[in-house]
Amino acid sequence: MSDPADPPPEDSTDDPSVSRIIRDTLVFTIVIVGAVAAAGYVLREPLTEVADWLIATMGVGGMFIGVFVADAFTVPIPPDFYLIISIASGFDPGLTIATCAVGSVVAGNVAYLIGPQIERIPILESRLQDFRPRGERLFGEWGGWAVAVAAMTPVPFSIVSWLAGIYGMTWRLFWLASLVRIPRIAGYYLLYKIGWVPSVL
């Protein structure tokens, strides 16, 4: 296993440079906010009904668990899904942001703790290998800041959290970096809200 302090390999396919990360994040943001606006405009009524049902069924506890599982184990349903259905259902914004932010931070810290054991879990190990090159390049470029960088971008937070545990990053530094998930959750909630609002105009 490579040392995160080593320089990243010369392969541009997963370039961790600032410009690449900013570009990927902007593209992701524009696409997802546009998708929310389009879906809200075309399918507002059925989406609202589904969102109401989901919120009523899972409640705050279900939302917390959903975000936790997504950010600890990289399941197909991302944390943003819960932000979007909350907006569509008109659920309390403050409670949504608090629940999802806490769930994400707790998940990242659990992912950090289980990181060294990931290679013993076939399903999770395969997910790690899919994203490991980019994660390692982030660590090679940013060092301890890689967690904070990943927390604000579309890079799966769980993968970088696993790698932080695998590489032996100090827990205190990881915990501080993981708090960046709070403004990330709040910021994306606001963007999705902006995307959803025009659908009713």
Question: Above 60 in pLDDT, residue 200?
Answer: no
Q: Residues 105, 108, 109, 115: what is their CA dihedral angle, to the nearest 10 degrees?
A: 180
Where do the structural domains in the chain lie, given as residue ranges? Answer: 16-200
Rounded Cα gap, residues 199 and 201, in angstroms:
6
| Residue 165 contacts residue 112 (beta carbons within 8 Å) | yes
Q: Is the pTM of this model over 0.75?
A: yes
Average pLDDT, the chain: 83
Q: What is the pLDDT of residues 76-134, one digit of tens each?
A: 788 999 999 999 999 999 999 999 999 999 999 999 999 888 877 877 777 777 777 77
pLDDT > 90? residue 7 = no
Are 136 and 8 in contact by the 8 Å Cβ rule? The answer is: yes
